[in-house]
Chains A and B, each alone.
Chain A
Amino acid sequence: MKTSSPMKWFVSREGLYYLGLAALLVVILPLILDPFRLNMVGKYLTYAFVAIGLVMCWGKAGILSLGQGVFFGLGGYCMAMFLKLEASTPEATAIQSTPGIPDFMDWNQLTELPWFWEPFHSFSFTLLAVIGVPVLLAFVIGLAMFTRRVGGVYFAIITQAIAAVLTILIIGQQGFTGGVNGITDLQTLKGWDIRTDEARNILYFVCVGMLFLVLFVARFVQNSKLGRILVAMNAQETRVRFSGYDVAAFKIFVFCLAAAFAGVGGAMFTLIVGFMSPSFIGIVGSIEMVIFCALGGRLSILGAVYGALLVNAAKSGFSESFPELWPFAMGALFIGVVLAFPNGMAGLYQTYVMPLEDKIFKRKKVEAVAAAEPEATKPVAKKTDDYDPMIDSYSPEKS
């Protein structure tokens, strides 16, 4: 595959999709939404990080993890620990029996900061931990599972069990973790008040920026040879193994990648929402994240972003309009979409909207091409019609 120049990529169909998303998130939504709603969109976007990871892990490589909430939560807790330490200055906590430690530790009769909290005084350590801790856990799980060739449903069940175990651990060790309350009342990041509208707006744009970074990493991986091996592994694992590839290593890699994305999402969540609680780590939270991904289209990284946005917007919308009945509306939405459109919104888009686009695109292309060199380029123009959902990308130079 030849690499295209950046300018050319932006006017390609795929590039336009990214530009469309960027326009929506950076221009349209900030213009039409008030700071409160924009902050909520920011919160939804933090789930999109997990959904993108799931597209890579589940959609491409066929590894269904029902425990992505674990990595989201770990990333979020790392950030929350840093912010909580910053909020728990001896002056701010003078009322406690032991000033200078987080309030929930004091309630649980702890008299000094536990050793694993100490490094979280450092912001750079925290940033490393946000990615490092989830990746490390994913690596250990991956090493234990994939080298033993545990896969499919068994892997899904084990990840779900890990989600349950970690929830129990966090809730049970409330003196160290804040328990079921979570880590609340986070105020400042390096002295910068994250609760003001202005700060929330800035955090929203930081979140969008991080999201695009993650999108491009995901896109880079899926378009590389590595990405093709992942897809091949999904389709015919034994053949890939017999071709001399170390299947386990590839699986561990993509699982760690998804964990890293989820960790970043979790840290952004903590910053945007202002606290972290164990409810995302558990089984329900983890399965919800799979639903975002399924609804958006599990093969499409952009679909995952739209899936996370739409499901959460629907959840807020339904629950505000019908506080008594909204879970039924959500259930109907999930069942309906999965039954009617197994490839989610991306599949829907591909079936119904893309042919329309093609008509417009083709006409322009043919006109442009006709002006230049009609005979030679026609086959290429035809190729552009075949959007490949497995690759989820289009570039005229693909062939």
Chain B
Amino acid sequence: MDTTDIAASGRSFSKGLGFRKSLMTLAASVMLATSAQAATPSTAEVNTTGLAVTDDTVTVGILHSITGTMAISEIGSVQAEKLAIDQINASGGVLGRQIDFVQEDGASDWPTFAEKSRKLLRQDNVAAIFGAWTSASRKAVLPVMEQYNGMLYYPTFYEGLEQSPNVVYTGQEATQQILASLNWAAETKGAKSFYLLGSDYIWPRTSNKIARKHIEDKLGLKVSGEEYYPLGHTQFNSVINKIKLKKPDVIFASVVGGSNVAFYKQMKAAGIDFTDEKPLLLTISVTEDEIRGIGGENVDGIYASMKYFQSLENANNKEFVAAFKEAYGDDMVIGDVTQAAYLGPWLWKAAVEKAGSFDIDKIREEFAGIEFKKAPEGYVRIHENHHLWSKTRIGQAQTDGQYKVVFETEELMEPDPFPEGYQ
């Protein structure tokens, strides 16, 4: 606290009555923020639908798993969203209002996500929800968002095949992650055959469906195998033997969660050195966050296709990484999804200010074309299909757990959640 602050607080204490009065208005505004009838005449203009908006504050919701198996992945998103909210508040808030947030725990359980999202919309009347991580939690929340006309800012790269008017997808849909990276493997690395490998659920299956179509129909190359393993699977010896037998040029991997640790350790133990690039391993599921669990020495040399890496060399990102580490500690790493989560509050702010209103329906009309020039990934823009225009980047993992960026698309990739010719 510097001297002017002390002087200011001393001044308000000396005017005892005025201080009490301001305290009461503050208390009243807090009560209003939590009550259902938040619309007071002064906010009537920017809030016609009874959201939790007062003269000084606007309340949003954060809904991620901070307990259970998904917590390790989702906590980064929570941190990024809170950081963005703090920064927005420090720079004056949204339409002159400071952002309050209500945080709820989805507990890695999809029905809990549905319950909590309903609570946030019905009881807290939040103006926006930043949350959900897995596709399953998004699918659970989606009907609630559509029923009560909420707006969800969803950060994870996902399978596409969805375009809800009540969701903004700040992560990449499948084609944005896959097509450019397959082209890169074919053109730069001269790959001729691909082995598709993933965990058994909707995202890897859809991703590999798109990858197969692209490899076979567009590139005219060969898919030498396609396999799925249950979530949590830890025995990859048989597939490693098959890979050794078939000698594909590229292993295209979308193994998620704890299976990753077993997968990469067993690959290494079987004598596959990724730095030799025989075969080259290209993953769409291992971010810096996952490497912390797998261990940098086990993934040394693999390539990942993302839109963001912590090591990106641009001024926005340097600022973002510094702020993140200052807020949460020097040993924090920032993965693709964490960065996408950080975009959520900023995009919401931009849309609200363009619409001049917190009303969901008015914001929705303004989404197309909203830009965020300070994005750590460089620059993003919202497409009319509620997804983001983003670049595809390829990074090579280093032993210190960071990626070295080796390729990025020149243009922003257009989001295409229902890709024709890939269905």
Residues of chain A whose beta carbon lies under 8 Å from any beta carbon of chain B: 34, 36, 39-40, 43, 95, 97, 104, 107-109, 168, 171-172, 174, 179-182, 184-187, 195, 273-275, 277, 279-280, 316, 319-320, 323-324, 326-327
Contacts and interface: CB of A to CB of B under 8 A. Distances in A.
B274 interface: no
Interface stretch (B3-11, B50-58, B132-140, B350-358): B132-140
B12 interface: no
A277 B104 contact: no
Contacts of A316: 115
Contacts of B66: 323-324
A36 B122 contact: yes
B231 A180 contact: yes
Q: State which size class the interface on B falls in.
A: 35 or more
25 contacts: A36-B122, A97-B423, A104-B202, A107-B161, A107-B202, A107-B206, A108-B202, A171-B200, A171-B231, A174-B201, A174-B205, A179-B202, A185-B143, A195-B143, A195-B147, A279-B109, A279-B110, A279-B111, A280-B111, A319-B104, A319-B107, A320-B119, A323-B66, A323-B104, A324-B66
B105 interface: yes
A274 B206 contact: no
B136 A181 contact: yes
B421 to A, nearest CB: 12
Question: Looking at chain A's contact residues, is the secondary structure mostly helix, strand, loop, or mixed?
Answer: helix
A180 B201 contact: yes
B161 A274 contact: no
Contacts of A40: 115
B370 to A, nearest CB: 25
Contact of B136 (A180, A195, A327): A180
Given A107-B161, A174-B202, A184 B109 contact: no
Contacts, number: 94
Given A275-B114, A275-B143, A319-B112, 6 more contacts: A107-B206, A182-B139, A185-B143, A273-B114, A275-B140, A279-B111
A320 B230 contact: no
Nearest to B107: A319
Nearest to A179: B201
Contact of B135 (A181, A275, A319): A181
Nearest to A197: B122
A327 B98 CA distance: 31
Contacts of A186: 143
A398 B307 CA distance: 74
Contacts of B111: 273, 275, 277, 279-280
B11 to A, nearest CB: 36
B311 interface: no
A172 B110 contact: no
B67 interface: yes
A323 to B, nearest CB: 4
In order of increasing CB-CB distance, the 4 nearest A-B pairs are A323-B105, A36-B122, A181-B136, A184-B139
A186 B111 CA distance: 13
B119 A326 contact: no
Contacts of B200: 171-172, 174, 179
Contacts of B123: 34, 36
A109 B110 contact: no
Contacts of A107: 159, 161, 202, 205-206
Nearest to A323: B105
Contacts of B205: 107-108, 174
Contact of A171 (B67, B104, B230): B230
A370 to B, nearest CB: 54
Given A181-B110, A181-B202, A172 B118 contact: no
A111 B231 CA distance: 25
A328 B201 CA distance: 31
B111 to A, nearest CB: 6
A368 to B, nearest CB: 48
A174 to B, nearest CB: 6
Contacts of A180: 136, 201, 231
For A109, A171, A181, the residue with the greatest tally of chain B CB atoms inside 10 Å of its CB is A181
Contact of A274 (B105, B114, B202): B114
Nearest to A175: B205
A327 B67 contact: yes
A319 B111 CA distance: 14
Contacts of B109: 279
Contacts of B265: none
Nearest to A316: B115
Given A107-B161, A316-B115, A319-B107, A277 B230 contact: no
Given A172-B230, A184-B140, A277 B201 contact: no
Contacts of B147: 195
Contacts of B209: 109
Contacts of A36: 118-119, 122-123
Contacts of B116: 319
Interface string B122-162: 11000000000001100110110001000000000001010
B119 A182 contact: no
Nearest to A273: B111
A185 B143 CA distance: 6
Contacts of A279: 109-111
Contacts of A195: 143, 147
Interface in B54-86: 66-67
Contacts of A34: 122-123
Contacts of A327: 67
A97 B419 CA distance: 12
A274 B103 contact: no
B392 to A, nearest CB: 23
Contacts of B372: none
A184 B112 CA distance: 14
B418 interface: yes
